[in-house]
Amino acid sequence: MLQDKKVVLGVSGGIAAYKACALTSKLVQAGADVTVIMTESAQQFVTPLTFQALSRNPVYTDTFDEKIPEQIAHIDVADWADLIVLAPATANLLGKIANGIADDMLTTTLLASEAPVYVAPAMNVHMYAHPAVQMNLKQLDQYGYRFIEPGEGYLACGYVGKGRLEEPETIVGVLEEQENLEQSLAGKRVLITAGPTKEKIDPVRFFTNHSTGKMGYALAKQAVSLGAYVTLISGPVNLDTPKGVQRINVESADEMYHQVLEHYVNQDIVIKTAAVADYRPKTSYSTKMKKEPGDLKIEMERTKDILQALGERKTSQFLVGFAAETTNPLEYAKDKLEKKNLDAIVVNNISEEGAGFGGDTNIVTYMNGKGDQINYPLQSKEEVAKHILQHVANELKDE
């Protein structure tokens, strides 16, 4: 899947720079056209001539070394690239690009390019765990950068732990897999609901739940990366809108119901991850309720079942539901799949460690109307989102 791809390989100054030589060779063998950009520090470990011989292309080391007078080098390379790989990405490089610093050929090219960027960090285990480095990684994640996580093992500094640059074969495998998926949802319109709802009691009190919206936002981010046009209808959460996503904010179950139905007709795929309240106070007060002697009773009424309404109105949409359960999750999921006319459902047992609300990981089972059932062990919500969308894309392809 890398045949004829134009790949910029950014090499920064760490001992793992020697692995970038093997990575260059592997990328060329996979059919990619590779241009290498080296930082000044990287040249202390490997010479530009090595990368020139392996890539069979000129190597860029200096922003002001304009090889062709008619072109500005960092702009030309930025526009040329189909994708950019940073390997190794040192703590220093991560800090620069996370904060928009452009003081050499590599960082100026990164700021000027709109190509997807893959980051393969490599550094000492304590450096990798440092709050500043982790903050920079989160910032780059918000920019839409993609990560090839470092491996664990013996490091050049003598420590054993996370921080070792992933092996070149693995990096190439990740790039090939991603390029294979890259446009699997190209042109598809995807509607995703996320987060909790708030059901008002009075101006200062409301009923809600523990949903943070992380799963829905991970799906929205991944769907955009696969070429989809994404509309995200979100309850109140403390999350940034993924790049390229149209976000519509709602608070109550009733607001979400009307927004979802308004946008439903023109969608190709609908994924409902939102934890919508099943009940709301029958009476909502416009002024604050005052404390009174004795107990308080609040009469509740059912909210509209959004997923049921979507199943009833479904024409050509591929409809995916979510089920967060604590007992007999698979039985409840199968029942929900059939009763609500879904094409697929993703179920998790929120009582399992790592699968509850608020975390960055999940443990899920994907079930569809054909009887397929795929279990996914503990992994990041980003990875879960990739798997779900891959299943959906494959099912649409088979129709």
Question: pLDDT tens, 218-235?
Answer: 999 999 988 899 999 999
Which one of the listed residues 157, 309, 350, 378 is annotated catalytic? 157
Say if CB 324 and CB 362 are below 8 A apart: no
pLDDT at 76: 92
Q: Is 339 annotated as a binding residue?
A: no
- Whole-prediction pTM value? 0.69
Query: CB-based burial of residue 222 (10 Å sphere; 0-12 exposed, 13-18 middle, 19+ buried)?
Result: buried
The pLDDT, as a whole number, for residue 158 is 62
Please give the average per-residue pLDDT across 97-113, as a whole number: 96
d(CA 234, CA 195): 6
Going by C-beta distance under 8 Å and a sequence separation of 6 or more, which residues neighbour residue 357?
Answer: 209, 210, 211, 212, 275, 324, 350
| 91: pLDDT strictly greater than 80 | yes
More confident residue, 177 or 313: 313
Beta bridge partners of 373: 367
**36 contacts 60 by C-beta, under 8 angstroms:** yes
336 is in an annotated binding site: yes
Mean pLDDT for the stretch of residues 191-215: 95
- Dump pLDDT digits (tens) for 232-267: 999 999 999 998 899 999 999 999 999 999 999 999
Q: What is the DSSP pairing of strand 344-349 with strand 318-325?
A: parallel
Cβ atoms of 9 and 24 closer than 8 Å: yes
Per residue in 342-371, pLDDT (tens digit) is 999 999 888 888 887 888 888 999 999 888
157 given a catalytic annotation: yes
How high is the pLDDT of residue 155?
56
User: Does residue 278 have a known ligand-binding role?
Assistant: yes
Task: Calculate what percentage of the chain has a pLDDT beyond 90.
Answer: 69
- Domains of the chain (ranges; CATH) run 6-181 (3.40.50.1950), 189-398 (3.40.50.10300)
Which H or E run includes 371? none
| Each residue's pLDDT tens digit, 28-75 | 999 999 999 999 999 999 999 999 999 999 999 999 887 777 788 889
Helix 91-98 crosses helix 131-143 at what angle (to 10 degrees)? 50
